[in-house]
Amino acid sequence: MNGWCCSLTGSNKNVTFAQFVHYVVWNHKHNVEANHHWRSQYDLCQPCHINYDTIGYYETLHEDADYILGKIGVGPNIHLVPRSKDTKQISSSYYLNLYDAVPTSDIVGLLDMYDKDYKVFGYELPETIRNRL
Burial class (CB in 10 A: 0-12, 13-18, 19+), 22: buried
How far is the C-alpha of 4 from the C-alpha of 15, rounded, in Å? 10
How far is the C-alpha of 97 from the C-alpha of 92, rounded, in Å? 9
DSSP 3-state assignment of 132? helix
Residue ranges of the domains in the chain? 2-132
**Ranges 14-28, 89-103, 116-130, most confident:** 14-28
Is residue 92's pLDDT more than 80?
no
- Which comes out higher in pLDDT, residue 58 or 111? 111
Q: How confident is the model at residue 71 (pLDDT cuts 50, 70, 90)?
A: confident
Residue 117's contacts (CB-CB under 8 Å, 6 or more residues apart) are 40, 41, 42, 123
Chain segment 10-46, per-residue pLDDT in tens: 555 788 999 999 999 999 999 888 788 888 888 888 8
Mean pLDDT for 49-64 is 84
